[in-house]
């Protein structure tokens, strides 16, 4: 009898821990839930391209596919930015919009083939739309009382975002870009001229400062709605100065005014509306001792970008997290600012230093490289 009781006890000591261990592996256990979430996350990253950090290069009108692939590989990028409405107002070939013959872009490049190859190689495609700077559609530009087009100190003319015809025109272009296969629309120059005198009293189309912010926000809301309905994403480029509060312009008189009111770009308001906000934090574009006391910004790319990312973090910290929609994807300098008397030659090291500064900030893993030519060192 005694031996039988001892045998039963021995069996219980072996079986009970095993039952407890199996019970812990139930689907309700924290361990199983954690593993399940991890598996779903990995699957999503593989199947949903938009969940991957977007790392882009601007290629403009370049169509040499191998050259594009080489640059993407060199910098570990996975996306390209292509001009769909360029700095002069020319439009992407075969864009399904109502053309004015003056703004039809004629190119020897095979863009249909390029887009197809990019898609086949799972490269994320971004359509750059230069929104309000315009050199062709005089009928949509801000004018003087005599009807002539207003030109600012940088010899640029601008469309009026309060004009319904302007909104319709941009809406049509952005929607068409998504329809032909672009994953994302990126609005550039979605701002007013930095020279406030362009909008002074007495000029036809004068727009008070605060109303400029409202006008830009309205434009972004409208484009965002159209692009999202078609399944695309929206990013918005903003001046780097909008995350510090100074004005990035050679007109020193404007330096005392708030950049958001002059440009119509409110960093937080735009972050509430776009999927991505892209501050152009090029070191060469900051004067001495900015941002936040950097003595020679162009000579210190890592430090300058680091400080800019800190400023962006500070701006986001002041806003309610639930209101913020956009992810930050800064544009980085991939060109040499030869116009500066004292400048740094930007090559692979300087570009990678800026990328490292973005990643070290802990804010985002996304970034974009810009070189006007679309070719990179």
| pLDDT tens, position by position, 50-104 | 468 999 999 998 889 999 999 999 999 999 999 999 998 988 887 877 656 666 6
Q: What is the domain partition of the chain in residue ranges?
A: 1-47, 50-370
Spatial distance between the Cα atoms of 266 and 315, rounded to a whole number of angstroms: 11
Spatial distance between the Cα atoms of 161 and 140, rounded to a whole number of angstroms: 9
pLDDT band at 212 (very low <50, low <70, confident <90, very high): confident
Q: Determine the length of the chain.
A: 377
When the candidates are 3.90.850.10, 3.20.20.80, 3.40.50.300, 3.30.70.270, the CATH number that belongs to 50-370 is 3.20.20.80
pLDDT band at 251 (very low <50, low <70, confident <90, very high): very low
Dmax (CA) for the chain in angstroms is: 116
Put simply, whether the predicted model's pTM sits higher than 0.75 gets the answer yes
pLDDT band at 337 (very low <50, low <70, confident <90, very high): very high
- Give Cβ neighbours of residue 369 (< 8 Å, ≥ 6 apart): 56, 57, 58, 75, 77, 331, 332, 334, 351, 376
pLDDT per position as a tens digit, 157-173: 999 898 999 999 999 99
């Amino acid at each position: 009898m005694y031996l039988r009781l001892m045998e039963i006890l021995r069996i219980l000591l072996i079986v009970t821990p095993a039952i407890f261990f199996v019970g812990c592996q139930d689907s309700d256990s924290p361990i199983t839930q954690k593993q399940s979430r991890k598996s779903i996350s990995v699957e999503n990253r593989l199947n949903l391209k938009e969940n991957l950090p977007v790392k882009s290069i601007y290629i403009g009108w370049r169509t040499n596919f191998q050259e594009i692939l080489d640059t993407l590989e060199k910098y570990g990028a996975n996306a390209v930015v292509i001009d769909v409405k360029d700095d002069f107002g020319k439009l992407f070939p075969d864009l399904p919009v109502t053309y004015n013959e003056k703004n039809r872009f004629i190119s020897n490049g095979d863009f249909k083939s390029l887009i197809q190859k990019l898609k086949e190689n799972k490269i994320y495609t971004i359509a750059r739309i230069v929104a309000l700077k315009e050199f062709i559609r005089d009928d949509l530009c801000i004018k003087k009382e005599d009807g002539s087009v207003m030109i600012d100190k940088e010899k640029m003319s601008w469309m009026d975002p309060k004009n319904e015809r302007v909104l319709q025109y941009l809406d049509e272009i952005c929607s068409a870009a998504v329809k032909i296969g672009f994953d994302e629309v990126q609005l550039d120059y979605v701002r007013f001229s930095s020279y406030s005198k362009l909008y002074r009293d007495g000029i036809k189309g004068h727009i008070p400062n605060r109303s400029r912010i409202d006008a830009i926000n309205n434009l972004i809301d409208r484009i965002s709605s159209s692009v999202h309905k078609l399944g695309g994403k929206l990013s918005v480029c903003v001046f780097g100065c909008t995350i510090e509060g100074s004005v990035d312009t050679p007109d020193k008189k404007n330096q005392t005014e708030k950049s958001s009111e002059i440009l119509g770009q409110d960093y937080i308001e735009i972050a509430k509306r776009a999927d991505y906000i892209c501050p152009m934090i090029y070191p060469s574009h900051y004067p001495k001792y900015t941002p936040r006391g950097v003595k020679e910004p162009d000579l210190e790319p890592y430090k300058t970008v680091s400080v800019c990312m800190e400023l962006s973090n500070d701006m986001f910290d002041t806003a309610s997290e639930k209101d913020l929609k956009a992810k930050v994807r800064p544009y980085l300098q991939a060109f040499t600012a030869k116009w500066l008397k004292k400048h740094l030659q930007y090559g692979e090291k300087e570009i990678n230093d800026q990328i490292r500064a973005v990643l070290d900030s802990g804010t985002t893993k996304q970034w974009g490289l810009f070189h006007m030519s679309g070719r990179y060192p």
